[in-house]
Amino acid sequence: MIQMIYAAALGGLMILLLAFPQAASQGAIQALELCVHQLIPALFPFFVVSSLLVRLPAWSKATGFLRPLTRAMGIASPQAPLILILSWLGGYGVSAQSIRDGIRQGSLTPEEGARLLVLGCTSSPGFTIGSVGALMLGSPFLGRLLFVAGLGANLATCLLLRLFLGKAKSSTTILKPSSDALDVSSAITTGVTSCLSVCGSVIFFRVLWQLAQELFSLSPTGQAILGSLLEVTSGCSLMAALPWPEGCCAALSLLGGSVFLQIAGLAQGSCSVRLLLLTRPVHLLFSLTFFRIGMHLFPSASQVYSSFAPRLILTSRNPPDLAFWLFLLACLALKTLSGGKRKKSS
């Protein structure tokens, strides 16, 4: 029965693609522009550097200050703090890739990986603060509030899982330095594959959005809700045109079908995405609550937002994020060169 419904849905989608080819093409072109100007410049360096970092036990020790937090959330893996930092800085794509690499190395169990998805999956600060806050809402401060509210919701949701499900089953594998830890070529290949997966998901759901625009005459609120359920960038852009910034908070919390497809593609079956999906309603409640508290504590942010006209989404890059990770990549290169010199001298 489920297969018949699935087949009927795909058949209907094929008919829509043939009936509205111009709308489908327009959606694909818009998605490609988004990928070229925003997603790839922001994500690709993170994918490459995170793939290198998760192979180096030294970096796990450097992020050990977060180990009490991850242990409190029921995740005992020594590599969890490093993956958490990468997730919060790089966003959900880097989170899924880093968790997948950790599970394949044996330093994480699939159960710990599923918990880390709940704890770490969020939009990157560059997107939340720069694109949503500064460009769409016209207030970087609102972007910071959105980012902090999202992280707070991650923590609160994962803490509830710890209380109800107990501690996640941990790995007994001790990660040792590997000879290919600094294989930059392999990391670049992995980054390219991950970027293709992300861009493919964005294009597909952007086409669905354009087809829905042709079929339904929805109110602005209805369009914003549908956009949020399909693709987070479109959802935030449409929500920003409404007179309440909580809409962007809801869109960032729900993630949308495109993000879940990206996470599933990047995880490649290493851990289940079901727990992340089931906890999103709880995350939405926490996120909106924390955001409303922030708006109450800083009422000037709401007044500034209400004075702006509806925003249009613009392309942007994330120089602070990229500079930070390029600095780390330079450190890795220097480490490799210094290691080679020691071998020659000995």
**Residues 133, 136, 138: CA angle, nearest 5 degrees:** 65
**CA–CA distance, 236 with 233 (Å, rounded to integer):** 5
Q: Give the relative orientation of helices 280-297 and 246-254 as an angle to the nearest 10 degrees.
A: 150
For position 138, what pLDDT does the model report?
Answer: 83
* Alpha-carbon dihedral angle through residues 235, 236, 240, 246, given to the nearest 10 degrees: 100
| Residue 248 neighbours by CB under 8 Å, 6+ apart | 132, 136, 137, 146, 236, 239, 240
Domain count, the chain: 1
Please report which residue ranges of the chain form alpha helices under DSSP H: 2-19, 21-34, 40-53, 57-62, 67-72, 80-90, 92-105, 110-120, 125, 140-165, 184-215, 220-230, 232-240, 246-254, 257-267, 274-278, 280-297, 299-306, 319-345
**CA–CA distance, 134 with 237 (Å, rounded to integer):** 12
Examine residue 41 and state whether it is found in any structural domain, yes or no.
Answer: yes
**Burial class of residue 1 in the structure, from the number of CB atoms within 10 Å of its CB (0-12 exposed, 13-18 middle, 19+ buried):** exposed
Examine residue 191 and state whether it is found in any structural domain, yes or no.
Answer: yes
Joined together, the tokens standing for residue 66 give 């977060």
Examine residue 163 and state whether it is found in any structural domain, yes or no.
Answer: yes
- Listed residue (277, 265, 270, 259) closest to 111, CA to CA: 270
For position 115, what pLDDT does the model report?
Answer: 94
Q: How many CA atoms lie within 13 A of 284 on its CB side?
A: 16
Residue 78: domain span? 35-170+181-196+273-337
For position 59, what pLDDT does the model report?
Answer: 65
- Listed residue (82, 119, 118, 129) closest to 102, CA to CA: 82
**243 SS3 class:** coil
Examine residue 313 and state whether it is found in any structural domain, yes or no.
Answer: yes
The pLDDT profile of the chain, 346 residues, written as one tens digit per residue, is 777 887 888 888 888 888 888 888 888 888 888 788 767 776 777 777 777 776 666 666 777 788 899 999 999 888 888 889 888 888 888 889 889 988 988 888 999 999 999 999 988 887 888 778 887 888 889 999 999 999 999 999 999 999 998 888 876 555 554 545 556 777 788 778 878 877 888 888 888 888 888 887 778 888 889 888 988 888 888 888 888 888 999 999 999 888 898 898 888 888 889 999 999 999 999 999 999 999 888 876 665 554 444 444 444 444 555 555 555 555 555 555 455 444 444 4
For position 265, what pLDDT does the model report?
Answer: 86
For position 304, what pLDDT does the model report?
Answer: 53
Examine residue 331 and state whether it is found in any structural domain, yes or no.
Answer: yes
Residue pair 171/108 in contact (Cβ under 8 Å)? The answer is yes
Examine residue 260 and state whether it is found in any structural domain, yes or no.
Answer: no
Examine residue 51 and state whether it is found in any structural domain, yes or no.
Answer: yes
* Polymer length of the chain: 346
pTM (2 decimals)? 0.77
Examine residue 267 and state whether it is found in any structural domain, yes or no.
Answer: no
Joined together, the tokens standing for residue 277 give 């999906």
| Residue 176 neighbours by CB under 8 Å, 6+ apart | 57
